[in-house]
Structure formats: C-alpha cells, structure tokens
Structure 1
C-alpha cells in the first residue's frame, strides 16, 4: 500500500521547539559542568578529574556517530542487507579495547602526557610527533567530514521546507547551510569549555541518542499490523538476521575471518592511537579508571544492535506500507536516505523532532570531539613551547574555529567521492583507514625494542598512504595520481635525503615502484579492491617495514 504522506510537510512547531530546547539544554549543562578553564590541562584534559562512566559514555557517543545512526539502518534495510556488520564490533573491537586498556594506557599514564603523540615523541624524537600529528589530522578530517556530510543529508531531507525558505532569503543552498549549522554548534560547544564540555555534552547526547532510537523502534512496532514478532520472523526467513559470515572471500568486508584477523588489528588504532578517543581516556584520574572507561565502552555494540534493528523495521515497514513517490525517488537515488525519509514521512510530530535531535546530537558529539583533539595536537606539535601559557588557551580556541571551517568545507567536498562507495557507512570507515596504518606503525616502532630513532617515519608515512590509495583505486586517473605522487616523492628524496646512502635510496625507490605496480595490477581476481577493513593493516605493514628499513640509526648501526 502506498503511503499518502509526502516530503512537503517539514517539521511542526512542536518538533522545532523540541530540537531547539534540547540544544539549549545540552549547551547549558555542558557549560555548567565544565567549570572554569585555568589552563591547558583543564581545557585539554578536564583537569584529569572526570569520572570514568562519563568518559565511557562520551566514547560510545563519539563511536556511534551519525554514520551508525543513519547509514547502518539503510545497510540492513536494502536488498541483500543483514546484521553481519556487527561481527566487526563484537569480535574485532573487543580485542582492540583489551589491548588498549592493558598495554597502551599504562604506558600513557606512566608518562603523564597530553596526547599519545607525546609518547611517540619521547621514544622516537620530536619529528615523529609532527608526523603522527599530521597523520591524525588528515585522517580525522577525512573521517569526520563524512559524518558531517551524512548528518547534513538528514537535515536536508527532513527540513527541506524550512531550508527552502532560508535559501529564498539568503541565497544559500540547503546542503551547505545544513553543514554550516552542524559545524557552528560544534564549534560553540568546543569553545565553551574544552574537553570537559565535550565529555559532559556527549554523555547527555548519548542518552538522547538512545531515546530517539527507542522511540523509533516503538513507533515502527505500532505501525506494523502484526507487530515486531511477525516482522522478525519475516526478516529471519529473508536472511536479514544473519549475523555470522564465515566466508574467506577477500572482497567481503563483513566476515568472521576479517573481524578476528583484520579488524581487531585495525581497530587498535582508533581506540589507542587516535587522539579523539585517547584524549577522553586521559581525562580520567588514573589508569584504572581509564581502563574501566574503555572496556565498558563495549556497550556501544548493544546500541549498534538497536540501530541495526531499526534497519530491520524500516525493511518491514517498506514491505507493508511503502513510501510516497517522492520518498521512493529519493531512496532510489541514495539508499542512505531511507531513515531520513521515514523520519520526514512517517514519524508523528514530537517524535520526529526527538529523533532528528538524536541524529544531530550524534553528529555534533563526533565533531566537537575531533575539534578538541585537532586543536590540542596541533598546538602541542607546533606551538606550545613557543607560546606563553596565557596565550596558548586563546590560540587553542582559534584552532578550533579554523578546523571547524576546514571540516565543513571538506564535508561539502565529500559528495563527489560518495558515489564510489556502496554506502556512507563504508565511506566514513574507509576515509580514516588511509592514514590509520601509518599512525599505528609509528606506535609499534615506539613500543617495540627495535633501536630506531623514528627518522624513517617521515618517508614511510607518505609511502604508506600512497600504497593504500594504490591498493584501492585502479582507474586510469588513479594510476596517473600515483605516478605523479611517486615522481614528486622521488624528487623530494633527492633534495632532502642527502647523505642517507644508495642503499636507502634504492629501498625508497622500490617502495614507489611497488605502489605503481599495485595500482596497475593490484585488483582482486574477481575485480574490485580489498574492502576498507584491510586499509589499516596494509598501511601498517608498509609504514612499519619501510620505517624500519629507512631509519638512520638502524642503517648506521648495521654499517658499523
């Protein structure tokens, strides 16, 4: 049966009141709990006095993000969709959290550092801190801009009427205006009180997120004629409830072998080397509290399961009721729009505003996190020692503004990359994978007893990024990009790596040739490329091997 609703309605006054009220309430709460910022320790670490449960809730809120909230239901609801994505979190992230809690966190707290890149600097030298900071910054901007993009898609669909009025008055198109609004709120929240405001607002937004998901699940059950029991039975028969996939097909992203062998490796980076997550953990009073925060954050998988069930519900609702012609057209153009269309067409007034506030909250909780982290790492890597403490706090706030604008511009550019990925979920997870491997390799070099000084990282990091790009893209334009980058890197080596010897030069040239071969002949036998869970492991191996092989201290020791 075709729904009589359309996308022309927009939000009711009640929905707008709920959204604005929620944002104002969260702003007030975050500001009141943050307290006065007396210096960088308060702004960046919350004075190391935040309770573990608030930190854990903040981690979950950041981890879930708008991508999970909006794109995961579409992955489940579309043809051939199921619950196999949960394997990555159930098995891969559990192992990764344990490694972070029992291996990395004790080392971080022993050093009393501001960020994990301080640890790398103390082990491998200050140049390594700049390399890791640059890798984190690039990966953070790419990954979080995809999340901002997706939330803007939701806002654009649900607030289409209101944004059309804004465009008529200001001349600003709906999508850029939606992106700007999300970034503006995130900048304000981060500016108010640093990481303490971020953690407390994230904890509240986590509750709002759960409330929105719960309301959606309840309303879907009400709308289905036979309720959830019949819908789950039909979903099981259709294969929608499949959780485990034991396939060894390398082209599949969501399989049990990938979860255990690849994702557990790759997810150590996001939890243990990514400043956005580690900054929260360092806000705890001691390592024991920080360990509790990271281990208890596994409850994120329960939330992810609930979001997946929204996808099952959307599939069942679509089979029974369908959407309007306008809604069907929007979903056909971009399958990730199914949840936003459902919000706009089906949810009643009040619940619609609550769920939209949840989606907005999911985006902001991730964006304010990355802004705080980018500001801190940039200041520490390039300016803290040269800036007076009284001026450092002001400079950090300016960096928040700068990165907020940069993230917004990148989010607008993401629309040109989106068509190359099966879903926005894959897109967002893939973006950070380009730099994640090189970043993780730096920490392995810092922790392992390899007697290196980190000088090889400056060369192995760009080589790692180029190798991952070459592994993923094989079109003629991509081969041209790899060729140009390889030539440029070779020229940089020729001018900047004098005195390293012919052996090191040969190793570097072989690495560049390997990237060219990878983009030309690196496709899978059935066509296509390795999926996103492989990005970080492949990048790690390349950065680790060449970081060790090109290390000055190692080369000098082997020559004597």
Structure 2
C-alpha cells in the first residue's frame, strides 16, 4: 500500500501523543518527572506496563519464532516456557521486592544498595542498570525503526540514520517535560492500540482462512507449531532452564530495573502497587499467548498465499515468498503490509509504533532519572535551585537521546534482525551483576568493604560467563548454556562479593 498514506498515520499518531503530553505535563516539576509525584493510578500503570514489557520486539519477533526451526523441528510455542517463568518472577517482585522499596521510600531503587553497602555498591548497581537498559532499549528500538525504514521511509529515499533520528526526536519531545507523569497516560493509550492491532490481525487471519480458534489450534498442532515443552536436558531450550531462567529474568529485568520499578513506586500505596503487579502479570501471560497464536496463524497465512519452505545453501530451512526469506522478524511486517488489505496495514503500523514508544520513552526517562539521582546525586544537592536541577535533567535527557542514536546505528551495522533471543542473551550478561548485588543484600547479613573490588567483581562475572557460554559444550560434555546464563552470572557475582565480605557489626 501507499507509503505516503502510512507515513501520514505515523505523523497523526505522534501529534496525538504530543497533545496528551501537553495536558499531562502542565505544572510538572522534577518529582513529576522522576516518580509522578507518587500519585499514579495503579490500574493505568498496570495496563500501560503491558506495552512497556512487551515492546515492538514481542510484537514483531515473538510471532516470527513460531515457524522458525530449532534443529529439525519448529520452535513452536517454546517461548511460552519463558512466559511461565515470568509469571513466578512477577510474584517475587510483588511480594519480596516491592515491600522493600516502599518500606525504604525509594525514588531510585539503587538507593537500597547505598543504604545496605555504601556508595560504591550503589554507583555500581546504577551503572549496570544504565548499561543494561541502554543496550536493551536500543535493541528493541532498532527492530521497529528498521521495519518503518524498510516499508515506509525507504521509498522516500530517507537514510536509516535520519529515520532513527526522527523517531528519537519524537520520543524526546513528548517526554521532555512530564517524564513518568506523562508516560503513565501515553503508555495506556499505546498499549490499547497495540492490543487492538494484535486482536484485529488474529481475527482477520482466522476469517480469511475460514477457521475457528479450535480449528486453528488443531491445524497448527498438526504442523508442529504448538510445541511448548523442550524435554532435552542438554539443550539450551530445556523447559526447566527456560522456566527458571524466565523467572530470574523477570526478577532482574523488571524488579531490579529502575524503568519498570519507577512506574510501580509512583503508585501511592504498596497494596495498590501489588494489585498493579498481579493484574499486569495475568494480562501479560494471556497477551504473550495471543502473540504466539498470531505467529502460528501468520505462517499458515503465508503458506496459503504462495510462500514455501526451502533449504538454504548452508542447510538451514527458510520460508520464501517471492524469493525473499520472510521467516522470523520479517514475517509479520511482510504479511501485514504486502499481503493484507489496506485497513489491516494501517492498523499494523499504528500498533507497531504503539509497541515502539512505550519501551523507548520509559527507558529514556528511567535512564535520565537514574543518572541524575544515582550518579549526579541531584535529589541531595541543596546547593542547586529547582530551576538549575531541571536544566541538568534536560541536558542528561538530551544526552541519552544521542547515546540511543549511536547504539541503534551499531545494531544497524551488525544487521541481525532476530532480536528476541539476542535481548535475552544480552540480559544474562548485563543484569547478572545486579541480581548478585541485590541477592547478596537481601539473603546475606554480611557487610561489604567500601572498595572498588565490588565494581571489579561485577565486571569480571560477565566475562567469565562469556567464556563458559562459548565453551560449555566442550567443557560439559555437550551441555549448552541457555537462558540460565543470568543465574550463573548472578551466582558468580554473589560468590565474589562473599569472598570480600566481612561479618556485619551489630549495633546495640
């Protein structure tokens, strides 16, 4: 369909976000930006976080995994193993971490590390959050920007870097003033539109193929698209690894992540924040299953419209449509924008950018908050006026936008568009030290010396994990390290901290 028409809807959507931002950011201050004045509605936060946690990667990449291959069989619904782990992880966040954050009245969750271990541990935790969130957010952003570039702006002769810059400027404009106060509302709008796109796509394909949900599940099962559990203990996708790994990914990427917790602790009371978590948990599991169902339906739709599986020169299977491989991240955009009616294409684009913005705007705001509060100590600076603090905050916000652009261009140069697995792998390296730091604080009564050995241990653990991951099959008799990399990383950090710890002094 017409790229100009699609682009007009992108612009219209952005204008709508600016209108919402204008009304929600009036009379805003630094507390509005950082924690929404602790007055956010828990139902809005819960619903909006669905969009933040799923992002454009879930929207594009998760459906594409269903018909892809793991060895000689389809991956199917194997991603749901991780989703089961997410479910248990969210319960830990709700009933272990949130009570701790509310009891200590934290604005930045990394203040816990300062109160428990001192400034060096605190700064180290904040540093790893900044690295983790920057890498994860830009990876998610890259995938969606690539889709917009390939299917819309490329036809206008716009270079990729200009597309990335335009999208980042859009995000910057509507988060510049209001921060969390604005994002709570924009995320709610964006989640609604993303879920609308998901439901419309599922209903359209079912009607087009003349299938009921039951018929579709039977057809998908017959083709091997609905396999969930991997029972090979030597495989990186073994179900126990995936479930336990998914649980710890949630604890780390959600419970120890300033972006996600920033929204939770913006809710007035602990009880409401926990209700938010439980509601979000249940909705998120159902939505992830719908994305997997959509993935199976998209493969059926593609096969019904002339696509066919073929073996590539290297032996890997691919799904070809008009001699182009559309398996994985290419599947949904190709089908929605080239093989479906114009109305579906428009809904897809709106849903896609709705999936893009919640993960990016929240990350940009949270990184700004963490750097200002944790690294610069802005909340504690009594020598600065509110106006001076705001100027520093806006400068940091702009600086992170530039860093985002730089990282997106790195992903573009690498050129790998199978993003969902890469994000989970990267999380294992970057969130592991955070997991080890918080676990040592919560599970151990021991103290840590105020030394940069803490930082060195946290930096060393990911490098050791990388060596183990690359050589696990050789060293461990064919065993492949998968999603449990995060747990190993956290355990190595924990043991390193234990080795330099000392018995806590008990004060009377």
What pairs with 1:352-501 in structure 2 (closer than 5 Å)?
352-383=345-376, 384=378, 385-386=380-381, 388=384, 389-417=386-414, 419=416, 423-453=418-448, 455=451, 456-473=453-470
Give secondary structure in 2 for the equivalent of 1:122. helix
Q: 2: CA distance between counterparts of 1:214 and 1:368?
A: 24
2:490 pairs, out of 519, 526, 540, with 540
- Tell me the equivalent position of 2:101: 108
- Go from structure 1 to structure 2 and tell me whether the alpha carbon gap of 1:328 and 1:429 turns closer, same or farther (over 3 Å shift): farther
- Tell me the equivalent position of 2:183: 198
- Tell me the equivalent position of 2:250: 267
Q: 1: CA distance between counterparts of 2:302 and 2:321?
A: 11
Give secondary structure in 2 for the equivalent of 1:77. coil
Q: 2: CA distance between counterparts of 1:399 and 1:259?
A: 37
Q: Check the 8 A contact 1:144/1:367 in 2, yes or no.
A: yes
- Go from structure 1 to structure 2 and tell me whether the alpha carbon gap of 1:348 and 1:260 turns closer, same or farther (over 3 Å shift): closer
Structure 2 regions of 5+ residues with no counterpart? 309-318
- Tell me the equivalent position of 1:31: 22
How far is 1:429 from its partner? 1.9
Q: Deviations over 1:275-314 (max 9, x none)?
A: 1111011100011111111121111111111111111111
Structure 1 regions of 5+ residues with no counterpart? 1-8, 168-172, 475-517
- Tell me the equivalent position of 1:74: 64
What pairs with 1:143-292 in structure 2 (closer than 5 Å)?
143-159=136-152, 162-167=153-158, 173=159, 175-225=160-210, 230-249=215-234, 251-253=235-237, 255-292=238-275
Q: 1: CA distance between counterparts of 2:493 and 2:324?
A: 42
Query: Across the two proteins, how many residue pairs are aligned to each other?
Result: 484
Q: Check the 8 A contact 1:191/1:397 in 2, yes or no.
A: yes
- Go from structure 1 to structure 2 and tell me whether the alpha carbon gap of 1:118 and 1:283 turns closer, same or farther (over 3 Å shift): same
Q: Check the 8 A contact 1:46/1:195 in 2, yes or no.
A: yes
- Tell me the equivalent position of 1:18: 9
- Tell me the equivalent position of 1:118: 111
Q: Check the 8 A contact 1:224/1:317 in 2, yes or no.
A: yes
What pairs with 1:497-536 in structure 2 (closer than 5 Å)?
525-526=477-478, 529-531=480-482, 533-536=483-486
What pairs with 1:314-353 in structure 2 (closer than 5 Å)?
314-322=298-306, 327-331=321-325, 335-353=328-346
Q: Pairwise CA RMSD of aligned residues?
A: 2.4
How far is 1:323 from its partner? 5.0
Q: 1: CA distance between counterparts of 2:285 and 2:423?
A: 18
1:86 aligns with 2:80: yes
Structure 1 runs (4+) deviating above 6 angstroms are: none
Q: Which has the larger radius of gyration?
A: 1
Q: Check the 8 A contact 2:139/2:411 in 1, yes or no.
A: yes
How far is 1:186 from its partner? 1.7
- Go from structure 1 to structure 2 and tell me whether the alpha carbon gap of 1:328 and 1:462 turns closer, same or farther (over 3 Å shift): farther
- Tell me the equivalent position of 2:314: none
Q: 1: CA distance between counterparts of 2:241 and 2:415?
A: 24
Q: 2: CA distance between counterparts of 1:218 and 1:75?
A: 20
1:46 aligns with 2:41: no
How far is 1:537 from its partner? 0.3
Give secondary structure in 1 for the equivalent of 2:233. coil
What pairs with 1:288-303 in structure 2 (closer than 5 Å)?
288-298=271-281, 299-303=283-287
Q: Check the 8 A contact 1:19/1:354 in 2, yes or no.
A: no
Q: 1: CA distance between counterparts of 2:223 and 2:336?
A: 25
Q: 1: CA distance between counterparts of 2:401 and 2:474?
A: 37
Q: 2: CA distance between counterparts of 1:407 and 1:309?
A: 32
1:58 aligns with 2:9: no
Q: 2: CA distance between counterparts of 1:266 and 1:228?
A: 31
Q: Which moved more, 1:385-394 or 1:69-78?
A: 385-394
Q: 2: CA distance between counterparts of 1:229 and 1:449?
A: 50
Q: Deviations over 1:112-163 (max 9, x none)?
A: 111110111111111111100110111111111110111022112321xx43
How far is 1:526 from its partner? 3.5
1:137 pairs, out of 130, 135, 145, with 130
Q: 1: CA distance between counterparts of 2:82 and 2:124?
A: 29
Q: Which moved more, 1:220-229 or 1:450-459?
A: 220-229
Q: 2: CA distance between counterparts of 1:45 and 1:57?
A: 17
Q: 1: CA distance between counterparts of 2:51 and 2:270?
A: 21
- Go from structure 1 to structure 2 and tell me whether the alpha carbon gap of 1:537 and 1:449 turns closer, same or farther (over 3 Å shift): closer
How far is 1:230 from its partner? 4.2
Give secondary structure in 2 for the equivalent of 1:267. helix
Q: 1: CA distance between counterparts of 2:156 and 2:142?
A: 21
Larger helix fraction of residues: 1
Q: Deviations over 1:184-237 (max 9, x none)?
A: 222222213111111211111000001111121122123325565544322111
Q: Check the 8 A contact 1:34/1:200 in 2, yes or no.
A: no
Q: Check the 8 A contact 1:65/1:362 in 2, yes or no.
A: yes
Q: 2: CA distance between counterparts of 1:20 and 1:327?
A: 30
